[in-house]
Chains A and B, each alone.
Chain A
């Protein structure tokens, strides 16, 4: 079944997952009452989720805390059994936990680790080699490749507890990719890392994807991760899918304007609403304003024609702002 090429690497239909959550009121009396008669309520972590992801795609999975992202990843990787609905990952039903399925996936969680704390990463590599039944040549080739790509040669023989967070995360990625999974579930892989290390991890993931073409489903609170890696984003909130499409479509629908920044040689610039232009910041000769997307080329041409422009840049609003807007604007669907 696993050898067969499926149209969709991941396919879910009407996927639901409920959790029973214990309720606890404040105070000793309430705690005592709760001890003898515990109150609980059912929370729908994921509601009727439909996902269709083709092999080799990189998909960003976005949502605020508690939106249901990790729950979905856990169902897709076979950790959680759905309350209802169907899931197929590479043609397998994940919660049946077929070994062939588990050999085809990898789950990387930024806050949990495969590496043995008191042992050097190379020892964990050797354990994973046994777990995935890799031959000598497979193991040696892959270890060498990953060491080169992740630049971890100098930390392989140091105990994990003595490595920096960045080194640990790179070793964690290496160990998770030793068996060359067809699907990679990445849950906050850059959490807690500094900007340089985040960039390094992103570059590695892009390079790895270019070489081996795994399907990647990524959740991250760092929008730069999503912008750099994902061709497509799925946004969920309170377990409901609120957007599924290209990042540019999301940007365009949520924010019909672009940010234009100019630096004048001298004089002043008059930002007119009639030109589709709205000033948001001015400091000396530096202006930042919003321009309707459809009028950006016209506005840029007009500005250059004045001959008074020292510098001009055009950018999309920060992804963080867009996503924040999506979750705060009455939870309305952009589509």
Chain B
């Protein structure tokens, strides 16, 4: 509870800080909204030439896009600013000061900053999903909702474990620029259903590089097409990934050499 209170207070400070640069703040919200709209147009253009892609029609694809944007925006709000700040903290040595505080350092490096610029995207993604629910594309049965909830948690945990892995690499290598780029490359793979890829790649996306669990599986849960076993497998994979990365973080701060001195 104490850690949560500290993080809430840090979020408050970040929001106050963001308000210092009002024009930049408002501009970022508008830019992100247009990014959402252009992404949506891209999907619609595909379906002027084809009725379905790898078994996904345009309505189902919009559900996938809604889920993808929801996950992406949550990552952008909660994790991205911390990823950017981490590179600077390692290079400047300010990580030293954080590590001498009586706090859960993993939580602090993960969630000390928040960015509200993608709030608009969350709103539009939820609106898109509600619209698809209203049109009957989303199958709102309790079993599906449960599988969707579990698969969304798995999705966020998987993204968090990749984030934590990058944070650890930044500390170990003392300099790791464009960390966000690596994360975003992973997101680029999640933007479309894994069914569009050949069998071997699809297998890899369910196993070694489990990007299928980030958007495709939650979307299939909403569409009533998910296998419960796949969803729970994804949950197990994501919990294991977070546990492994937490262990790595604890090892990382023991081998941390600090800047200078």
Whether A127 contacts B257 by the Cβ 8 Å rule is no
> Binary interface profile of B, 84-100, with partner A (CB < 8 Å = 1, else 0)?
00000000111011011
Q: Does B10 contact A (CB under 8 A)?
A: yes
Q: Does B20 contact A (CB under 8 A)?
A: yes
Whether A112 contacts B102 by the Cβ 8 Å rule is no
Interface size class of chain A, counting residues whose CB lies under 8 Å from the partner chain: 35 or more
Q: Does B103 contact A (CB under 8 A)?
A: yes
- State the CA gap A133–B258 with chains docked (Å): 27
Q: Does A215 contact B (CB under 8 A)?
A: no
Instruction: List B contacts of A119 (CB < 8 A).
Output: 13, 16-17
Whether B97 contacts A131 by the Cβ 8 Å rule is no
Whether A107 contacts B97 by the Cβ 8 Å rule is yes
Residues A220-249 near B (CB distance < 8 A)? none
Instruction: List A contacts of B255 (CB < 8 A).
Output: 81
Residues A120-143 near B (CB distance < 8 A)? 123-124, 126-127, 130-133
Q: How many Å from the CB of B31 to the closest CB on chain A? A: 21
Whether B13 contacts A102 by the Cβ 8 Å rule is no
Q: Does A87 contact B (CB under 8 A)?
A: no
- State the CA gap A79–B252 with chains docked (Å): 12
Q: Does B101 contact A (CB under 8 A)?
A: yes
- State the CA gap A124–B102 with chains docked (Å): 16
Q: Does A34 contact B (CB under 8 A)?
A: no
Q: How many Å from the CB of A127 to the closest CB on chain B? A: 6
The one of A77, A81, A127 in contact with B254, judged by C-beta atoms closer than 8 angstroms, is A81
Q: Does B256 contact A (CB under 8 A)?
A: yes
Whether B260 contacts A70 by the Cβ 8 Å rule is yes
Binds A, one of B1-9, B144-152, B180-188, B237-245: B1-9
- State the CA gap A95–B100 with chains docked (Å): 10
Q: Does B261 contact A (CB under 8 A)?
A: yes
Instruction: List B contacts of A107 (CB < 8 A).
Output: 96-97, 100
- Residue in chain A with minimal CB distance to B250: A97
Instruction: List B contacts of A95 (CB < 8 A).
Output: 254
- State the CA gap A74–B93 with chains docked (Å): 12
Q: Does A60 contact B (CB under 8 A)?
A: no
Instruction: List B contacts of A30 (CB < 8 A).
Output: none
Whether A112 contacts B257 by the Cβ 8 Å rule is no
Whether B97 contacts A130 by the Cβ 8 Å rule is no
Whether B20 contacts A80 by the Cβ 8 Å rule is no
Q: How many Å from the CB of B2 to the closest CB on chain A? A: 6
Whether B100 contacts A79 by the Cβ 8 Å rule is yes
The one of A69, A100, A127 in contact with B6, judged by C-beta atoms closer than 8 angstroms, is A127
Whether B261 contacts A74 by the Cβ 8 Å rule is yes
Whether A19 contacts B257 by the Cβ 8 Å rule is yes
In this complex, which of A78, A80, A116, A187 has the most chain B Cβ atoms within 10 angstroms of its Cβ? A80
- State the CA gap A81–B257 with chains docked (Å): 9
Taking chain A's interface residues, is the majority helix, strand, or loop, or is none over half, making it mixed? mixed
Instruction: List A contacts of B99 (CB < 8 A).
Output: 78-79, 97
Q: Does A159 contact B (CB under 8 A)?
A: yes
Residues B89-137 near A (CB distance < 8 A)? 92-94, 96-97, 99-103
Instruction: List A contacts of B256 (CB < 8 A).
Output: 79-80
- State the CA gap A109–B261 with chains docked (Å): 11
Q: Does A99 contact B (CB under 8 A)?
A: yes
Q: Does A3 contact B (CB under 8 A)?
A: no
Q: How many Å from the CB of A254 to the closest CB on chain B? A: 26
- Residue in chain A with minimal CB distance to B7: A130
Whether B102 contacts A99 by the Cβ 8 Å rule is yes
- State the CA gap A105–B260 with chains docked (Å): 21
Q: Does A114 contact B (CB under 8 A)?
A: yes
The one of A71, A81, A102 in contact with B102, judged by C-beta atoms closer than 8 angstroms, is A102
The one of B10, B16, B17, B93 in contact with A112, judged by C-beta atoms closer than 8 angstroms, is B93
Whether B100 contacts A77 by the Cβ 8 Å rule is yes
> Binary interface profile of A, 61-98, with partner B (CB < 8 Å = 1, else 0)?
00000000111011001111100000000000001010
Whether A133 contacts B2 by the Cβ 8 Å rule is yes
The one of A116, A118, A131 in contact with B103, judged by C-beta atoms closer than 8 angstroms, is A131
- Residue in chain B with minimal CB distance to A117: B17
Q: Does A113 contact B (CB under 8 A)?
A: yes
- State the CA gap A76–B2 with chains docked (Å): 26
Q: Does A103 contact B (CB under 8 A)?
A: yes
Q: What are the 5 tightest A-B residue pairs by CB atom distance, in nearest-first order? A: A70-B261, A99-B102, A102-B102, A118-B17, A130-B6
- 19 new A-B contacts at CB < 8 Å, known A105-B100, A113-B94: A69-B261, A70-B261, A74-B96, A80-B257, A81-B254, A97-B99, A99-B103, A102-B101, A111-B93, A112-B92, A113-B97, A114-B97, A116-B13, A123-B13, A124-B13, A126-B9, A127-B6, A130-B9, A132-B102
The 24 listed contacts between A and B (C-beta, < 8 Å) are A69-B261, A70-B260, A70-B261, A79-B96, A79-B99, A80-B256, A80-B258, A81-B254, A97-B253, A99-B102, A102-B101, A102-B102, A105-B100, A106-B100, A112-B93, A112-B97, A113-B97, A116-B13, A116-B17, A123-B16, A127-B10, A127-B13, A131-B101, A131-B103
Residues of A within 8 A of B (CB): 19, 69-71, 73-74, 77-81, 95, 97, 99-100, 102-103, 105-107, 109, 111-114, 116, 118-119, 123-124, 126-127, 130-133, 159, 187
